[in-house]
Homo-oligomer: A and B are copies of this chain.
């Protein structure tokens, strides 16, 4: 049974040329979308002009798309959340241009949970990927939902790290929520729909076009309490997201790197502008007033972690070799390595290798 009010919201957002600002004007003058649609052409025209009033009332133009969206929303795990819904994420109401509707594939509850955005370059270095993964996992284990943009590189690594941890992650798309873009992240798209949430303000089927991404970026920072930039070039989308975040009053965090790495220049520029330099997950958690994650492995078996350090030695070594040397399972070794990495005692290197540094 379709919800007539939801149909009215969808119809308004699908009118060509009717942007967020005009839609909010209609809402403030007429109340709910159904009342705007019932107000008559003359009243609409006085509010938004003749041309737009005509397009709003040309039902045939949007009827097919509205029906398809209602069918989509009816499927298990799908939802369309409007500005009038209780489920609408409160933090998005704080931003200058909150979307009228959000298409969600997955857990709508995640949109209102404490969350941190992690963004960065599509062409990240192996160390950047490793950092994004391990920070996301640590934040996830501390109870934060990880928000990112499902791009290649840092975004994908952040989502994967969150899924490795407690598993809560939200991907905000610059395409329709049903469009798996980029194709190389199709598996991740499915995994997030199943265990996290995919979110978009764009109508179903919207292709991933460049112009959508700056709009999308404001939602990544808008949904989160803060934004961590892992690696970013100067003049990159990640820097735009970070600057939008600062305008939205969100905390901005950045990981430093070599002054000779072009992918650290964006992070350094942010730190110069007042972003907080981050060396460990604890730096961010402390700033957000959150407790450190329960350090179950290290606390319950410090002697085993110590033994692992001895097995590791000072030469780079991978998890398989460490399992052989220690007799521990890969899961346990990985958890301990993460722990030791967060404590600054081992470094993760490209190629899944680890090295003792303290």
Contact = CB atoms under 8 A, between A and B. Distances in A.
B259 A268 contact: no
A344 B256 contact: no
Interface of A: 127, 131, 255-262, 264-265, 268, 271-272, 276-280, 344, 347-348, 357-358
B277 A272 contact: yes
B260 A259 contact: no
A268 B277 contact: yes
B344 A265 contact: yes
A142 B279 CA distance: 33
A351 to B, nearest CB: 15
A344 B233 CA distance: 12
Nearest to A346: B260
Contacts of A271: 256, 271, 277
A257 B255 CA distance: 9
A260 B134 CA distance: 13
B259 A258 contact: no
Nearest to A234: B344
Contacts of A358: 262
A280 B265 CA distance: 11
A343 to B, nearest CB: 12
Nearest to A270: B277
Contacts of A280: 259
A264 B260 contact: no
B255 A357 contact: no
A259 B276 CA distance: 14
A259 B265 contact: no
Contacts of A272: 276-277
Contact of A259 (B131, B259, B262): B131
Contacts of A256: 256-259, 264, 268, 271, 277
A292 B256 CA distance: 25
Which of A255, A258, A280, A347 gathers most chain B CB within 10 Å?
A258
A258 B127 contact: yes
A35 to B, nearest CB: 53
Contacts of A348: 260
